[in-house]
Amino acid sequence: MPAVGLLELGAHLVQAHSVVHESDWKSARDFVVGASQPDDLVTFAPRWVDPIGRQEFGPDVATLQREARPDESRFPRAFEVSIHGAHDPTLDGWRRTEERSFGRVTVATLENPSPVHVLDDLVAFVGPQRMQVSRLDGDHATECAFAHGSPVSGGLGAGPAVPGDRFACPNGGFVAASVAADLAYRPRRCIYAPPQGGKSVLRVRFLGVRLGRTLHGHHGIYVEAERNRTGAPVTLTFKVGDTVVGSVVHNDGDGWKPFEFDTSSLLNSTSATGRADVVAEIESPSGDRRVYCFEADTQ
């Protein structure tokens, strides 16, 4: 029994004194700043240490694009900054090429075995230059103007914040780039586009998108609405010209649901530049608690 007590005491003292020193974080950061490229992923493990990682690595390294990535497929390489021997499970299957220790922080360099080349990220299109938003009621289309205002946010239960820069529809609807928590409470940078409900269709037109062989993306609903599984399904349909590229339905509980459509047949029919306007139409039988968000890219 004394051994149990003393062992527990010893383990407690070791654990309480195993905190990572700030100098270790700084050394790891300096290494990653020097070694990483803009298209590399930088991730922190275990997941709970992410806030400290974001603080210590700062806005140049711990960026919104890396933190709230739709998935890892677009990153050719990753720097996994970890403590306590943790590993980011989303990088399982990646090839570990290098590992450096900085005190209690380990930085592993991993290579993506099959990175995809993103031509255009549609979330980056959000803005008056490259995107148009309208609401369709039958044949009648109402333009949703781009506006600069104050962000709108709240506490728990308020849903994702609406940024100051957004398309505002006359009836109060809006479309903007935001960050939503998916069903696993991971951050997802996406286009916040709540359907209007009924027969109304929210139409988002992305101008001059470089098309590739696939249109790939994810969609989800604000976690608190999604987890209750009482809401109406949301349908997202992509079109290029009159051609329906694909349609996907999100039901509550689906989480951050991936989709992928083959666009190779469109490559010949688009302009010589390989660009075309891509239209996303969002609709749902009910707009109640349909705090919907999607992201897509061309590959």
Q: Which residues bind to other proteins, rule: CB under 8 A?
A: 1-2, 4-6, 8-9, 11-13, 15-16, 18-20, 46, 48-52, 54-55, 57-59, 62-64, 67-68, 83-84, 86, 150-156, 158-163, 178-181, 185-187, 222-224, 227
Distance of alpha carbon 160 from alpha carbon 152, whole angstroms: 9
Shortest approach of other proteins to residue 62 CB, angstroms? 6
Shortest approach of other proteins to residue 188 CB, angstroms? 8
- Nearer Cβ to other proteins (156/272): 156
Structure tokens at 237: 């349909």
Shortest approach of other proteins to residue 65 CB, angstroms? 10
Q: What are phi and psi of 23, to 5 degrees?
A: -65, -30
Question: Is the Cβ–Cβ distance between 182 and 255 less than 8 Å?
Answer: yes
Shortest approach of other proteins to residue 8 CB, angstroms? 4
Shortest approach of other proteins to residue 70 CB, angstroms? 14
Task: Give the total residue count for the chain.
Answer: 299
Question: Is the Cβ–Cβ distance between 83 and 20 less than 8 Å?
Answer: yes
- Nearer Cβ to other proteins (86/118): 86
Question: Is the Cβ–Cβ distance between 147 and 127 less than 8 Å?
Answer: no
Closest CA to 67 of 99, 41, 93, 30: 41
- Nearer Cβ to other proteins (66/216): 66
The percent helix, strand, coil of the chain (3-state, each to 5) is: 20, 40, 40
- Nearer Cβ to other proteins (13/141): 13
- Nearer Cβ to other proteins (87/213): 87
- Nearer Cβ to other proteins (223/279): 223
Strands across the sheet containing 105-111: 41-45, 77-82, 105-111, 95-102
Distance of alpha carbon 35 from alpha carbon 98, whole angstroms: 11
Name the strand (E) or helix (H) holding 29.
helix 22-35
Shortest approach of other proteins to residue 274 CB, angstroms? 32
Q: What are phi and psi of 88, to 5 degrees?
A: -80, 115
Shortest approach of other proteins to residue 169 CB, angstroms? 19
- Nearer Cβ to other proteins (67/111): 67
Shortest approach of other proteins to residue 235 CB, angstroms? 24
Query: End-to-end alpha-carbon separation of the chain, Å?
Result: 63
What are the distances in angstroms from CA 44 to CA 31, 114, 133?
Answer: 14, 21, 36
- Nearer Cβ to other proteins (174/238): 174
Positive or negative, the CA dihedral 251, 256, 257, 263 is positive
Distance of alpha carbon 25 from alpha carbon 258, whole angstroms: 34
